[in-house]
Amino acid sequence: MLRIHDLKPAAGSKRRARRVARGIGGKGGKTAGRGVKGQHARDTIKPGFEGGQLPLTQRVPKLKGFTNPFRVAYAPVNLEVLDRFDAEEVDPSMLVEAGLVHKHALVKVLGRGQITKPMTVKAHAFSLSARGAIEGAGGRVEVIPLPFGRGRPPSKGNALTNR
């Protein structure tokens, strides 16, 4: 019957490690198989050394953070600004004519101020408080679809503001 203390590796599968650098009397003496001079003959390589390639610590930018190339920038418009209009419908073209936003800007309505009359407001985005205030005053909110669709915007930002 085979027991655990009877187990042995197969014959010839285990060899003694070569004892190098123990004098010049036999194999592995003097340079101990490392050749003569050079990087591999030394015992250490600088941490972070990448074989002459520019190391990671130098490739990475030194300033913190980054600029997201896919960010969507909105032009903010508050309720107090919308309340000045005497129209039943306010859209981005009216805001451009009034000089409140750039002609290619995406408009987001924010909830600062109050709205006193019912009106239909068209914009690319609304904050929850603005949406609640407009509908609470008897008005309607219409979301204009973004020009780059539902996915990720172009890598240069809005594609509208950069024209």
Q: Which two tokens stand for residue 59?
A: 């490739």
In a domain, 14, yes or no: no
CA atoms within 13 A on the CB side of 66: 6
**Residue 86 belongs to domain with CATH number:** 3.100.10.10
Helix/strand/coil percentages in the chain, nearest 5: 20, 15, 70
Domain assignment of residue 96, yes or no: yes
- The amino acid that residue 1 corresponds to is M
The answer, yes or no, to whether residue 160 has pLDDT greater than 70, is no
> Cα 120–85–132 angle (5° rounding)?
40
Whether residue 11 is contained in a domain is answered as no
Integer Cα distance of 117 and 140 in angstroms:
11
Domain assignment present for 10: no
- The DSSP 8-state label assigned to residue 144 in this structure reads P
Q: Is residue 162 part of a domain?
A: no
The answer, yes or no, to whether residue 154 has pLDDT greater than 80, is: no
Per-residue pLDDT of 11-35, as tens digits, reads 999 999 988 888 888 788 888 888 8
CA distances (Å), 95 to each of 38, 76, 90, 131, 157, in order? Answer: 72, 11, 8, 18, 22
Is 9 exposed, middle or buried (CB count within 10 Å of its CB: 0-12, 13-18, 19+)?
exposed
In a domain, 30, yes or no: no
In a domain, 25, yes or no: no
Chain-wide mean pLDDT for the chain? 87
Q: What is the pTM of this model?
A: 0.57
Q: Is the pLDDT of residue 161 over 70?
A: no
Predicted local confidence at residue 162, as pLDDT: 47
The DSSP element (H or E) to which 131 belongs, if any, is helix 128-136
157 pLDDT above the threshold of 70 = no
Q: Identify the CA nearest to 80 among candidates 112, 109, 107, 108.
A: 112
What is the per-residue pLDDT for 130? Answer: 95
Average pLDDT (30-48) is 86
Q: CA angle 9-13-14, nearest 5°? A: 80
Q: What's the total number of domains in the chain?
A: 1
Q: Judge whether 158 lies within some domain.
A: no
Domain region containing 114: 74-143
Taking only the tens place, the pLDDT of each residue in 50-94 is 888 999 888 887 777 777 778 888 999 999 999 999 889 999 999
**How many Å apart are CA 122 and CA 119, to the nearest integer?**
10
